[in-house]
Amino acid sequence: MASLQKVVTNFLFSSGLFLASFFLAWQISAISNFMYSTWYEVLDLDQVIIKYAPNNKYKNGFENTDKHQHIELFAGIVKAIQHNGDGLKQLRYIDSKNKQTQTLLTNAEVVHLRDVAHLVNTFKYIGGIGLVVALIIFALMCVKNISISTFKRHLLGGVGMVLLVSVVVLVVGPTKIFYLGHELVFPNNHQWFFYFEESLMSTMMKAPVLFGPIACQLLLLTVLFWMFSLFVLQKVQQKLKRV
């Protein structure tokens, strides 16, 4: 019974920390603009813009914009989804050739990005709940004298879970999972898939390709924060036992 109690409490403790770590990873990634300027070069996003922007059905002249504008516009989208979608309609680009200013997003894109903003808000609550759960369980473990499992055990469990998810993603296919996730999360009557020829947003992100490295970046940061917090709290518990 004691062994089962230790397994359950450690699982809840570790899971709560992981959710909190994901929230922190998201916030830090958002501050760094999700490393868009780096992925811009790695994924040759400028070439995607040059190829597809001239064929856009709704917007003109985006091919006459530069990297600096693209980074600023992406940062504007990130800032908006971090603040309930505020400011999406105000995002504009300057066609340097024809000296014209146009709005970046269509109405359908604004609706979709507001849906994303609502999802991000949900992540914030889940991350906060995860932190509260982890701290409560940690306090309970200290009071009940339940030791945090070895760092190695937590690490093996976490790595095992990540590998399992990775295998599922590879078997099913990242694109299929991306589409399925959107179908499950977003309202049925809201457009979430946009062809490059109808969306400057999709074009400048090379969607969904850009989301792959961003997901890996988030996962790496999450695991690092999770491991660090586990290590620190384990040391704290050990010191409390000596008191």
Question: Looking at the 3D structure of the chain, how many domains does it have?
Answer: 1
Closest by Cα among 88, 92, 70 to 79: 88
Q: Is the pLDDT of residue 158 over 90?
A: no
Q: For 85-117, how does the pLDDT look when each residue is reduced to its tens digit (9 = 90+)?
A: 999 999 999 999 988 899 999 999 999 999 999
Tokens 């999802």 belong to: 119
Strand ranges for the chain from DSSP E:
92-95, 100-103
pLDDT of the residue at 135: 93
Q: Is the pLDDT of residue 1 over 60?
A: no
Closest by Cα among 141, 137, 117 to 129: 137
Q: With cut-offs at 50, 70 and 90, classify the pLDDT of residue 186.
A: confident
Q: For 191-204, how does the pLDDT look when each residue is reduced to its tens digit (9 = 90+)?
A: 998 999 999 999 99
Domain, as residue range, for 82: 2-242
Q: What is the CA radius of gyration of the chain?
A: 22
Q: For 18-39, how does the pLDDT look when each residue is reduced to its tens digit (9 = 90+)?
A: 999 999 999 999 999 999 999 9
Share of residues in the chain with pLDDT > 70 (%): 98
Q: For 72-87, how does the pLDDT look when each residue is reduced to its tens digit (9 = 90+)?
A: 999 999 999 999 999 9
Q: Average pLDDT of the chain?
A: 90
Q: With cut-offs at 50, 70 and 90, classify the pLDDT of residue 243.
A: low
pLDDT of the residue at 119: 92
Q: For 195-240, how does the pLDDT look when each residue is reduced to its tens digit (9 = 90+)?
A: 999 999 999 999 989 998 998 899 899 989 998 999 899 888 888 8
Give just the sign of the alpha carbon dihedral 72, 77, 80, 81: negative
Q: With cut-offs at 50, 70 and 90, classify the pLDDT of residue 2.
A: low
pLDDT of the residue at 5: 81
pLDDT of the residue at 172: 74
pLDDT of the residue at 126: 93
Share of residues in the chain with pLDDT > 90 (%): 62
- Burial label for 48, CB within 10 Å (0-12, 13-18, 19+), is buried
